A and B are shown apart, each in its own frame.
Chain A
């Protein structure tokens, strides 16, 4: 038993009670001391009773009287047989318990007290005329109704017969109330209706949907028999994907690949069709989804004519791509604001000013931008990115893992036409080239006029620098121009040399006899030699020299001013002695699958070249060459991410890749991984509460953030809500830093769409969210929700499938009945008052 003091302050009156004893000490009455004592005790008791009565105690007392309310789920999803069994079980329990009070409450959408168990079975019989709405299960309301049926002053017991699949209401709320009131709920799981039916149980979508790409949607299909079926997913009338499946009794999960073209709110419907299906209502399930805006990619291509390959691959994979030349790279970080990823492809150092790289760095590191740098021969060379600010951002350094053995043969024109400034510049150029060559490199010099001369037979540079310098100084003009034999000699000499890179640098200012240069140079390229050419002056055979460079896989230069030649020679020497790329067939090897899961590299063609890079210590190497050089490297940097694809993305080194089926998926996976790190400026969510009767409360939550993730405050975003009737514009009120809420109550059955519509806000995609109530929820014959029923019993102190004995026992009995104590106390005081008076009129201890 426990006591609740309603007005405990009245107990302070008890401090006056000792005055009774004080007064009796100064008494002038002449009663016998024993009667005097008795009078004082009675008066004390009367006053005490009155003071305690004023404190209004309420006793919570135990009771042996039992009140049981049986709560039976008669919704459509429960089999009639289960209801009949429940009625029988109620009879058994009543026979065992003999409760002092009991009620039977049937529930589905509403709850109703049944006269007896026969009336209960009548509800689910075919000829039911009571009009019981069985199209929903409101467990919350049912438990509340059952609680109200418990007889006051009795030991309370609720016994629930249900499949636990509530379709409306909030069970958690009533559980907290029942647990707080000490009312145990015992449960009996009920079997679902058996119709041999198949239905869509759930449609599960990835948390983030993007347009264009493949989306693996999972449809959980429930079935009560073995059957074949077709599962499809629709967007409106358009079928996005379908699969034929074999269903077995229970739940079958079917993955259907779908693709969505447009960003925004969509309503997807999963549908199952099977032969002989008895119930149509549950064959479809609609679910709202939000397709994120297409990620925006800024593609800066050094060779604009080759941009179409990656551009179209990314567009087909759901990206919005804006292609610009190098000059289009924004100069400030704000300029990158509208993009998610920047792709820099085959850009020379000279076209990317430091200021723009600094802006790019800020955007990546501070604002979470994504950066992909693709290789190409322009990326390197004299003005490469070695130790540049861009290199700091990237997961690789632009250097070679090991310096290759180099053999360079200069084939130099020394005909009469070179006399004067030209020959002088030739000597200076050759010497400057030698100066940048390393000691271990090999150099040969062939000079030609109408004959040829090995001015310097191929030899190592280091020990012969003085001899080379002398040989160059000794070149003097004479004779006519005959190029072919000199080039042929260079070829023969290089053929005998062992070197990883073999290069010929041809310089001429005149015209030679025609010959089969093409065959010779192509033969050289097949033996991994490269040829560059320099046409010196206007009289040079520029066409021939250009062709030789083109056939030879090298570069051609036209130097109108002889003074330009030295820097050309230096560049060539640098490039050949420290080449930034390897032009050879490369087989990609997957080192770490990471975000490339799902791309079949077994059929990936070879790449034709790559930029020389070395992976940084903390970076992740996903793809490498067979020589373990990085091909795709990745790392997070600051708030953003950066990746380097060391080959190119176009029709030079990736000429075979662009025809590969994996080309698009590969680059879209890379770009998608790089995107998504940025804080969305705006987000919108719908928080939909469980339906309560005919209505439900809905909260649209808007979050606004700066680019660096800090909250945007003091705004007034407007949310347009459509919920059955005409749209309402509601100004969301701020409730926390960066967080705004719009609350409203809607019809429980209404489809709810919330859209961020404020025209002054920079919301490009018109954020929208939708909630679709499941009108067919009651008709999805799921297995009993044992977890919920067990939790319900455990939370309230009930049991699962109890017998009479366990229902009677329980620790909640001590609070079964409440009694207000004041009437008893006042009655006691009244009787005491009469006794007090009697004791003052009758001398009971005197003769």
Chain B
């Protein structure tokens, strides 16, 4: 046995001292209450007392003494942090890197998980460091603790960490490190060349034990965009076990089940399926599998989000909404309300996702995503610039302009605001903004510098009309957050101010330049909000390399070099737990005079 907090002789000395103090306290004679009694009675009492020291009383006293001693010694022993003896591996600063790939969460046939073994191995390494500086890192989080000689901190850090991906992350860095211990199952191959190049000795600490697993290795949906054509999901299932397995697959769209099947998968087999999702339904699509031998849970569920599935509520504020009215009658998935400009209340809180202001701008900026068509002059929108017969000459690559063919659009006049808040994405030959966007964490706006009437443009006659208006509404209400992502550092649309994890926890979102970053460490459907929009980000593991926990990239020699780590949980919590029970029970027995 060794002691993490001090040298062995110090620990033994303290334990002996504690035992001594406890014994001394225990054998202190309790002075009886002072009472006036006749001397005969006193002597009678004394003689009775002599008579009561029976064997049972002696045993009772001995047990009481042992309990008192045990509590004191256990608490002192806990403070010395005892652990099984380890061979001190002196030799300077060391870095312990734990592979936090999802595969480390695999349940092993022998019980427990690879992760549990990795933590046990780390504890042993920390104990063996004995006075040397140790830093603790994971492949997902980078440096977690240290470098420090305080093993309490390191052990506390070990209790905090958990598998969290990090397959693509770089090696954690630590200058002047003499040895890097990499605790891994080898499921995700990693080159240690970079570490070795820095002069450190790399010690691989394998925690691999083959396990059987079934997994969803790919899941993504495709929205057809055509109301007459149904959406579909692509799904890949794999069986990474030595024998055939029957896998139950359930695909749900919202609360509606769209597929529920049992699939027989041969050993090592992967099946690919196209799941039709119907013409309409919930935006949330979820696939879930279950099987008898299934070591990893993280890859048993996958999610997707069909942004187009949820209808959009649009309020058009216009005194002559004719063209927009005709347009929205033909656009599926949009519920439209028409409001005259005079009826638009200043502080309204309507249910709409997007407001459209046609040839009119409210005196106060709206707090919802808004499309302004040929805006009127108000102070907050900026200085208006007008041009007769402008020619649409320059267009940026922007989602609002995707599929809009400017060569088909003839403009009679343009009127648009110019200010730092607006970013023109299309201009006339003389520089008049024709389409501008504005976005921040608080708002999201699009401005068309031309109207839809014949006196202003020919756009209503062109295919560009529905494309431009629908693009603008989509961008305002449902901006693309990017493709389906894997856990890790995720770049987000600049408008995202809040990201809510599936368990309701807020994920920290960091502004970096024009975009935003978030560290998403667990799979699931994340709700993204900002600038009046709400959308979702589907995060899945979706990686055969992670899910195939039946093989390792570690060499046989490496696997053989280290015995499977024994459970190396700290002893002190056990000691304290026993002491807690003793203290509680002893209180009762003492009051009842069972112990003394």
A interface residues (Cβ-Cβ under 8 A, vs B):
4, 6-7, 13, 16, 19-20, 23-24, 26-30, 43, 46-47, 50-51, 53-54, 56, 58, 105, 110-113, 140-141, 144-145, 147-149, 152, 169-170, 172-177, 179-180, 207, 592-595, 597, 617-618, 620, 622, 634-636, 673, 689, 692-695, 697, 710-711, 713-714, 733-739, 745, 787-788, 791-792, 794-795, 818-820, 822-823, 826-827, 829-830, 833-834, 837-838, 840-843, 846-847
Taking a contact as CB atoms under 8 Å apart, the answer to whether B583 and A823 are in contact is no
Q: Is B542 an interface residue (CB 8 A)?
A: yes
* Cα of A241 to Cα of B580 in the assembled complex, Å: 85
Write 23 A-B pairs (CB below 8 A) sorted by A numbering: A7-B159, A19-B588, A24-B591, A30-B33, A58-B160, A145-B173, A147-B142, A174-B142, A176-B489, A176-B518, A594-B407, A617-B461, A693-B197, A694-B193, A735-B234, A737-B233, A745-B191, A823-B79, A826-B576, A840-B590, A842-B30, A843-B31, A847-B34
Taking a contact as CB atoms under 8 Å apart, the answer to whether B194 and A693 are in contact is yes
* Cα of A175 to Cα of B194 in the assembled complex, Å: 21
Most buried by A among B72, B407, B483: B407
Instruction: Tell me which residues across on chain A come within 8 A of B153, comparing CB atoms.
Output: 152, 818-820
Taking a contact as CB atoms under 8 Å apart, the answer to whether A43 and B583 are in contact is yes
Binds A, one of B253-261, B507-515, B550-558: B507-515
* Cα of A172 to Cα of B517 in the assembled complex, Å: 8
Taking a contact as CB atoms under 8 Å apart, the answer to whether A148 and B193 are in contact is no
Task: Give the contacts of B18-33 with A (CB-CB under 8 A).
Answer: 18, 21-22, 25-26, 28-31, 33
Contact of B234 among A113, A713, A840 (CB under 8 A): A713
Q: Select from chain B the residue with minimum beta-carbon distance to A641.
A: B405
Taking a contact as CB atoms under 8 Å apart, the answer to whether A148 and B159 are in contact is no
Contact of B218 among A111, A152, A207, A733 (CB under 8 A): A733
Most buried by B among A6, A792, A830, A846: A830
* Cα of A795 to Cα of B491 in the assembled complex, Å: 13
Q: Select from chain B the residue with minimum beta-carbon distance to A673.
A: B407
Taking a contact as CB atoms under 8 Å apart, the answer to whether B22 and A176 are in contact is no
Query: In the complex, how many angstroms separate the beta carbon of B15 from the nearest chain A beta carbon?
Result: 11
Most buried by A among B159, B397, B462, B584: B584
* Cα of A791 to Cα of B410 in the assembled complex, Å: 41
Known: A20-B587, A147-B143, A152-B147. A173 touches B489 (CB 8 A): yes
Q: Select from chain B the residue with minimum beta-carbon distance to A690.
A: B170
Instruction: Tell me which residues across on chain A come within 8 A of B591, comparing CB atoms.
Output: 23-24, 26-29
Instruction: Tell me which residues across on chain A come within 8 A of B462, comparing CB atoms.
Output: 618, 620, 636
Query: In the complex, how many angstroms separate the beta carbon of B591 from the nearest chain A beta carbon?
Result: 4
Instruction: Tell me which residues across on chain B come within 8 A of A834, comparing CB atoms.
Output: 21-22, 25, 72
* Cα of A693 to Cα of B172 in the assembled complex, Å: 11
Q: Select from chain B the residue with minimum beta-carbon distance to A839.
A: B25
Most buried by B among A51, A58, A833: A833
Query: In the complex, how many angstroms separate the beta carbon of B35 from the nearest chain A beta carbon?
Result: 11
* Cα of A820 to Cα of B79 in the assembled complex, Å: 12
**11 further interface pairs, Cβ-Cβ under 8 Å (given A592-B410, A820-B155):** A7-B159, A23-B588, A47-B580, A56-B573, A148-B135, A152-B153, A173-B169, A693-B171, A697-B168, A791-B512, A846-B33
Taking a contact as CB atoms under 8 Å apart, the answer to whether A830 and B510 are in contact is no
* Cα of A6 to Cα of B153 in the assembled complex, Å: 12
Q: Is B442 an interface residue (CB 8 A)?
A: no
Task: Give the contacts of B220-279 with A (CB-CB under 8 A).
Answer: 220-222, 224, 229, 232-234, 236, 272, 274
Instruction: Tell me which residues across on chain B come within 8 A of A713, comparing CB atoms.
Output: 234, 272, 274
Taking a contact as CB atoms under 8 Å apart, the answer to whether A54 and B573 are in contact is yes
* Cα of A46 to Cα of B72 in the assembled complex, Å: 12
Interchain pairs with CB closer than 8 A, number: 266
Known: A28-B592, A169-B170. A179 touches B461 (CB 8 A): no
Contact of A177 among B142, B224, B577, B583 (CB under 8 A): B142
Q: Is B332 an interface residue (CB 8 A)?
A: no
Instruction: Tell me which residues across on chain B come within 8 A of A846, comparing CB atoms.
Output: 33-34
* Cα of A488 to Cα of B291 in the assembled complex, Å: 101
Taking a contact as CB atoms under 8 Å apart, the answer to whether A820 and B175 are in contact is no
Query: In the complex, how many angstroms separate the beta carbon of B300 from the nearest chain A beta carbon?
Result: 18
Query: In the complex, how many angstroms separate the beta carbon of B130 from the nearest chain A beta carbon?
Result: 18
Taking a contact as CB atoms under 8 Å apart, the answer to whether B197 and A636 are in contact is no
Instruction: Tell me which residues across on chain A come within 8 A of B79, comparing CB atoms.
Output: 823, 826-827, 830
Q: Is B131 an interface residue (CB 8 A)?
A: no
* Cα of A594 to Cα of B409 in the assembled complex, Å: 9
Query: In the complex, how many angstroms separate the beta carbon of B259 from the nearest chain A beta carbon?
Result: 15
Instruction: Tell me which residues across on chain B come within 8 A of A841, comparing CB atoms.
Output: 25-26, 28-30
Q: Is B146 an interface residue (CB 8 A)?
A: yes
Taking a contact as CB atoms under 8 Å apart, the answer to whether A50 and B579 are in contact is yes
* Cα of A372 to Cα of B590 in the assembled complex, Å: 105
Query: In the complex, how many angstroms separate the beta carbon of A485 from the nearest chain B beta carbon?
Result: 56
Contact of B513 among A13, A29, A787, A830 (CB under 8 A): A787
* Cα of A105 to Cα of B175 in the assembled complex, Å: 9
* Cα of A113 to Cα of B174 in the assembled complex, Å: 10
Instruction: Tell me which residues across on chain A come within 8 A of B72, comparing CB atoms.
Output: 830, 833-834
Instruction: Tell me which residues across on chain A come within 8 A of B229, comparing CB atoms.
Output: 710
8 A-B pairs with the lowest CB-CB distances in the bound complex, closest first: A736-B220, A594-B407, A737-B222, A693-B194, A841-B28, A618-B461, A145-B173, A27-B591
Q: Is B75 an interface residue (CB 8 A)?
A: yes
Taking a contact as CB atoms under 8 Å apart, the answer to whether A148 and B147 are in contact is yes
Instruction: Tell me which residues across on chain B come within 8 A of A733, comparing CB atoms.
Output: 218, 236, 544
Q: Is B391 an interface residue (CB 8 A)?
A: yes
Q: Is B412 an interface residue (CB 8 A)?
A: no
* Cα of A788 to Cα of B5 in the assembled complex, Å: 45
Q: Select from chain A the residue with minimum beta-carbon distance to B577.
A: A54
Q: Is B463 an interface residue (CB 8 A)?
A: yes
Contact of B170 among A13, A144, A634 (CB under 8 A): A144
Query: In the complex, how many angstroms separate the beta carbon of B456 from the nearest chain A beta carbon?
Result: 16
Q: Is B98 an interface residue (CB 8 A)?
A: no
Q: Is B201 an interface residue (CB 8 A)?
A: no
Taking a contact as CB atoms under 8 Å apart, the answer to whether A6 and B135 are in contact is no
Contact of B583 among A50, A175, A634 (CB under 8 A): A50
Q: Is B563 an interface residue (CB 8 A)?
A: no
Taking a contact as CB atoms under 8 Å apart, the answer to whether B175 and A148 are in contact is yes
Q: Is B505 an interface residue (CB 8 A)?
A: no
Task: Give the contacts of B117-157 with A (CB-CB under 8 A).
Answer: 135, 141-143, 145-148, 150, 152-153, 155-156
